[in-house]
Amino acid sequence: MSTKIDTDEPLHGRVLEHMHTAVLLLDSELRLRYINSAGEMMFAISAQRFVGQVIHHTLFEKEVATALEQVLESGAPFTERELVLDLGYRRRVTVDLTALPLNDGGGEPELLVEMKQVDRQLRITREEGLLAQSSATRALVRGLAHEIKNPLGGLRGAAQLLERELHNEELKEYTHIIISEADRLQALMNNMLGPSTLPHKRLLNIHEAVERVRQVVGAELPSGVKLSRDYDPSIPDLYADLDQLIQSVMNLARNAAQAVGNEGAIKLRTRTMRQYTIGHTLHKLVAKVDVIDDGPGIAPEMRESLFLPMVTGRVEGTGLGLPIAQSLINANGGLIEWESRPGQTIFTVLLPIEAAPTETETKP
């Protein structure tokens, strides 16, 4: 229950109470006069307890709290877009915040604070971008790789015929080079074409895939790199292609290993999320695999094109690891997301947990 704004028009109160935007009214001493239900929910506080108290320092970090004080002093409104609020207990929300000084009525000024939560929208827009990027490049690459593969086969065959006619070992070296380079290009094209077969899905535990990656990548790591795990063992089985999951998580883990170099820490973490949207589809339950490293982070110039083929920041890289991982996970109904800052990069594989199509009931 919220303390209603003192107005004799109950309609205003009803509208405010049903809004998704959090609304707070502070008096000239910055005491809370009013908070609507969305605000109570966002900050997990009760209006009854807190009305009359000065709490902007409790609710906001120092800079924002100070900015609010300045709005009252200066009379100039304050707006901050995509402000991250740390709500404690690991709860963080991103909001667009507006603070408006109210001076109507000529009495003491008041401060109206509005906060619209934007993280869900930001995430969906970014995901749409990732999915569109991934399908556009797949189409382009498929066309190109197809055009290259045919003449390449002819080239290789002709070199083989030529080799049979040659009796000079020195000259044969040249045909060897043609054949082995054609094979290398062929393998690259196959990689760029991505999975040639449809996924062979079966019910599996996500940890089958993650543990395999841990073992394989763990064996390749230099002794200064620590590979740890943090699993949620209660994740229900999901319907996916095991090899494809292994391949994708492996690509992410190898990137993490390359990012940390000879010293650092990599963590494989599994969790579930309820009521989570991937692309446009809302799923009741989603499995999440995080590959976390403490390396230098994604270079700024790579951020927009990370999932495009041939985009690499490494001398010996082919730039195919991420686009292949993304297309494999997309084929299994999921998505790869990422966030990165120096010292912490997280690549997240999201996979919907749904029953096999032969079953009629979907698991909760």
Ligand X SMILES: Nc1ncnc2c1ncn2[C@@H]1O[C@H](COP(=O)(O)OP(=O)(O)OP(=O)(O)O)[C@@H](O)[C@H]1O
Which residues contact Mg ion (rule: CB under 5 A)?
A: 255, 321
Please report how close the Cβ of residue 292 comes to ligand X at its closest, in angstroms: 9
- Residue closer to ligand X by CB (options 101, 319) is 319
- Residue closer to ligand X by CB (options 36, 345) is 345
Please report how close the Cβ of residue 201 comes to ligand X at its closest, in angstroms: 25
- Neighbour-count burial for 56-92, b at 16+ CB within 10 Å, e otherwise: beebbeeebbebbeebbeeeeebeeeebebeeeeeee
Residue 302 near which of ligand X, Mg ion, none (CB within 5-8 Å, type-dependent): ligand X
Give, for 117, the enclosing helix (H) or strand (E).
strand 110-117
- Residue closer to ligand X by CB (options 323, 333) is 323
Please report how close the Cβ of residue 338 comes to ligand X at its closest, in angstroms: 8
- Residue closer to ligand X by CB (options 251, 270) is 251
Residue 202 near which of ligand X, Mg ion, none (CB within 5-8 Å, type-dependent): none
CB atoms under 10 Å from CB of 262, counted, come to 9
What CA–CA distances, in Å, run from 147 to 136, 140, 150, 193? 17, 11, 6, 12
3-state secondary structure string, 52-82? Answer: CCCCHHHHCCHHHHHHHHHHHHHCCCEEEEE
Separation of alpha carbons 304 and 163, rounded Å: 46
- Residue closer to ligand X by CB (options 209, 311) is 311
Please report how close the Cβ of residue 323 comes to ligand X at its closest, in angstroms: 6
- Residue closer to Mg ion by CB (options 109, 319) is 319
* Site of interaction with ligand X (CB under 6 A): 251, 255-256, 259, 293, 295, 297-299, 302, 306, 311-314, 317-322, 345
Sequence letter at residue 326 = Q
- Neighbour-count burial for 6-38, b at 16+ CB within 10 Å, e otherwise: eeeeeeebeebbeeebbbbbbbeebebbbbbbb
Dihedral angle sign, alpha carbons of residues 146, 147, 152, 154: positive
Asked if residues 115 and 21 have their Cβ atoms less than 8 Å apart, the reply is yes
Residue 320 near which of ligand X, Mg ion, none (CB within 5-8 Å, type-dependent): ligand X
Residue 256 near which of ligand X, Mg ion, none (CB within 5-8 Å, type-dependent): ligand X
Separation of alpha carbons 329 and 243, rounded Å: 11
Residue 345 near which of Mg ion, ligand X, none (CB within 5-8 Å, type-dependent): ligand X
- Residue closer to Mg ion by CB (options 309, 321) is 321
Separation of alpha carbons 264 and 268, rounded Å: 14
Residue 295 near which of Mg ion, ligand X, none (CB within 5-8 Å, type-dependent): ligand X
Residue 225 near which of Mg ion, ligand X, none (CB within 5-8 Å, type-dependent): none
Please report how close the Cβ of residue 317 comes to Mg ion at its closest, in angstroms: 6
Residue 259 near which of Mg ion, ligand X, none (CB within 5-8 Å, type-dependent): ligand X
Sheet containing 344-352, strands listed edge to edge, beginning at the edge strand earlier in sequence: 225-230, 264-278, 281-293, 344-352, 335-341
- Residue closest to Mg ion when measured from CB atoms: 321
Sequence letter at residue 304 = E
Lookup: tokens for 360: 């009629």
- Residue closer to ligand X by CB (options 151, 317) is 317
Please report how close the Cβ of residue 184 comes to ligand X at its closest, in angstroms: 13
- Residue closer to Mg ion by CB (options 30, 210) is 210
Residue 195 near which of Mg ion, ligand X, none (CB within 5-8 Å, type-dependent): none
Please report how close the Cβ of residue 303 comes to ligand X at its closest, in angstroms: 9
Lookup: tokens for 11: 């309609």
Please report how close the Cβ of residue 199 comes to ligand X at its closest, in angstroms: 21
Please report how close the Cβ of residue 305 comes to ligand X at its closest, in angstroms: 9
What CA–CA distances, in Å, run from 194 to 115, 190, 200, 202, 256? 44, 6, 15, 20, 21
